[in-house]
């Protein structure tokens, strides 16, 4: 009997629905080769939900996510909703509450520059020749963004702003385990980022990561101060495998890595919460390493190209592959998708964002790119 997985599909705004359609096609084709099937539950989110239901994250959408094995998210936002009060806007009104509701504490952002797409990177060819593949694992629910006290007060007649960086050992342990586990299916190297020369948080971070590393003797661990990491990632991105970072540092470094990689249209991301449990997971093997998660492209709704059918669907498709790997335990199926993406790039297919006039390349639109990947899965 085939195993059915329930996926909440929140396509959102702008290019979201365009690229989501391609990701669904790829998932359906992948399922056809395995004893699995997907029940997609389409729900409103973001601007589309504001227009359709008056709020960026309607109750029905949240309920559908709760019933699902994972969430596949498109992107939200656009000029139409920018004049709303900040908390009602699509991103703040939908994405942040979703992260909070599901306790999504681990943000995984692969920064992959394909060997034939190094021209899309602003870094010079001599540094990134042959491409690179770095995974940033960022702690998402702790640290200075959430610590208390937080706020403003008056001191000696002038305003003072206060943010507090707080990490518990258990928070560091669980994010470190995600990073070490991810490194186990990659190049077995973790670089942990901190500021242990200045911050108490850095000292606790470093000693905790070292303790967790003992559970993973096959993984090589080294440490970098965040300022040095910012430099080394540009100087030699190929030297990194998994980068493990606290919330603030990961926020900055993962954007730096996205920029170095080239096009936002190629970059997937995952936000993982509690360990997965429930009927969908019994057949999936090692449930210890599976998490409930929200999977989305690193880019936004790209209003500048929305509706033209030219967006790159690869970020959304690779997000779907991450969903299979991290929430459903279908690592082989995920690898099939990733290989199919590499194959179409090797074959010279390019959406506009990654296109340059060169021998052997062909400009394709969103649907053509999706079809080509489906064909190769
Ligand atoms: P953006 O990522 O939407 O676009 C930045 C640039 O990258 C644009 O030129 C766009 O065309 C290009 N781009 C992004 N994805 C692409 C793809 N798949 N194919 C080809 N080109 C692609 O960022 P922005 O312009 O700063 O924001 C636009 C809207 O998206 C805003 O409303 C913002 O709030 C929202 N946003 C949403 C999310 C999210 O849903 N998680 C994330 C970032 C921004």
DSSP E strands: which ranges in 165-241?
A: 189-194, 220-225
pLDDT score of 286 more than 50: no
Residue 339's pLDDT band, with cuts at 50, 70 and 90, is: very high
Which atom from ligand 1 is nearest to the alpha carbon of 77? 32
Pocket test of ligand 1: the residue of 295, 299, 313, 369 to mutate, having most ligand atoms within 8 Å of its CB, is 299
Whose alpha carbon is nearest atom 40 of ligand 1?
75
Residue 263: which of 310, 228, 307 has the closest Cα?
Answer: 310
CA 58/CA 64 separation, integer angstroms: 10
Average pLDDT over residues 4-12: 97
Give pLDDT tens digits for 309-333: 999 999 999 999 999 999 999 999 9
- Yes or no: domain 1-105+277-377 corresponds to CATH 3.40.718.10: yes
**Is 69 known to be catalytic?**
no
* pLDDT for the residue numbered 132: 96
Pocket test of ligand 1: the residue of 22, 301, 313, 364 to mutate, having most ligand atoms within 8 Å of its CB, is 301
The mean of the pLDDT values for the chain is 94
The CB of 304 under 6 Å from ligand 1? The reply is yes
The CB of 305 under 6 Å from ligand 1? The reply is yes
pLDDT score of 277 more than 80: no
pLDDT score of 72 more than 70: yes
Residue 280's pLDDT band, with cuts at 50, 70 and 90, is: very low
Span from the CA of 305 to the centroid of ligand 1 (angstroms): 9
pLDDT score of 278 more than 90: no
Give pLDDT tens digits for 340-350: 999 999 999 99
* pLDDT for the residue numbered 228: 98
* pLDDT for the residue numbered 289: 73
Residue 243: which of 167, 175, 145 has the closest Cα?
Answer: 175
Measure Cα distances from 278 to 41, 72, 81, 199 in Å.
18, 18, 37, 40
* pLDDT for the residue numbered 33: 78
The CB of 264 under 6 Å from ligand 1? The reply is yes
Domains 1-105+277-377 and 122-261 share a fold: yes
Rg (CA), the chain: 21
Indicate the CATH number of 122-261 among 3.40.50.1970, 3.40.47.10, 3.30.450.40, 3.40.718.10.
Answer: 3.40.718.10
**Is 145 known to be catalytic?**
yes
Lowest-confidence range among 127-131, 282-286, 321-325, 351-355? 282-286
Domain boundaries of the chain, sorted by first residue: 1-105+277-377, 122-261
């Amino acid at each position: 009997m085939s195993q059915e997985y329930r996926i909440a599909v929140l396509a959102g705004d702008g290019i979201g629905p365009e690229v989501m359609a391609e990701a669904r096609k790829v998932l359906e084709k992948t399922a056809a080769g395995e004893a699995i099937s997907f029940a997609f539950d389409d729900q409103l989110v973001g601007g589309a939900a504001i227009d359709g239901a008056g709020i960026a994250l309607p109750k029905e959408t949240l309920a559908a996510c709760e019933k699902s094995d994972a969430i596949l998210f498109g992107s939200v936002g656009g000029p139409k909703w920018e004049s709303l009060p900040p908390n009602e806007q699509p991103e703040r009104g939908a994405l942040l509450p979703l992260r909070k509701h599901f306790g999504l504490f681990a943000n995984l952002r692969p920064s992959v520059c394909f060997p034939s797409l190094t021209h899309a990177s602003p870094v010079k060819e001599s540094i990134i020749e042959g491409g690179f593949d770095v995974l940033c694992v960022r702690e998402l629910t702790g640290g200075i963004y959430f610590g208390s006290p937080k706020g403003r007060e008056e001191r000696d007649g002038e305003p003072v702003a206060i943010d507090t960086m707080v990490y518990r050992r258990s928070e560091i342990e669980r994010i470190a385990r995600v990073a070490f586990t991810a490194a186990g299916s990659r190049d077995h190297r973790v670089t942990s980022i901190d500021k242990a020369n200045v911050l108490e948080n850095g000292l606790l971070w470093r000693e905790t990561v070292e303790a967790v590393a003992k559970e993973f003797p096959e993984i090589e661990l080294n440490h970098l101060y965040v300022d040095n990491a910012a430099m080394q990632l540009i100087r030699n991105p190929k030297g990194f495998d998994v980068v493990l970072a606290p919330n603030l540092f990961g926020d900055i470094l993962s954007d730096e890595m996205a920029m170095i990689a080239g096009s936002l249209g190629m970059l997937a991301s995952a936000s993982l919460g509690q360990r997965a449990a429930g009927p969908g997971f019994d057949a999936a093997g090692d449930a210890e390493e599976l998490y409930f998660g929200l999977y989305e492209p690193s880019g936004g709704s790209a209003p500048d190209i929305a509706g033209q059918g030219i967006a790159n669907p690869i970020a959304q498709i690779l997000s779907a592959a991450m969903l299979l790997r991290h929430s459903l335990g279908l690592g082989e199926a995920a690898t099939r998708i990733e290989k199919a993406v590499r194959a179409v790039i090797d074959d010279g297919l390019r959406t506009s964002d990654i296109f340059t006039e060169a021998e052997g390349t062909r400009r394709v639109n969103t649907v053509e790119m999706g079809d080509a990947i489906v064909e190769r899965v």
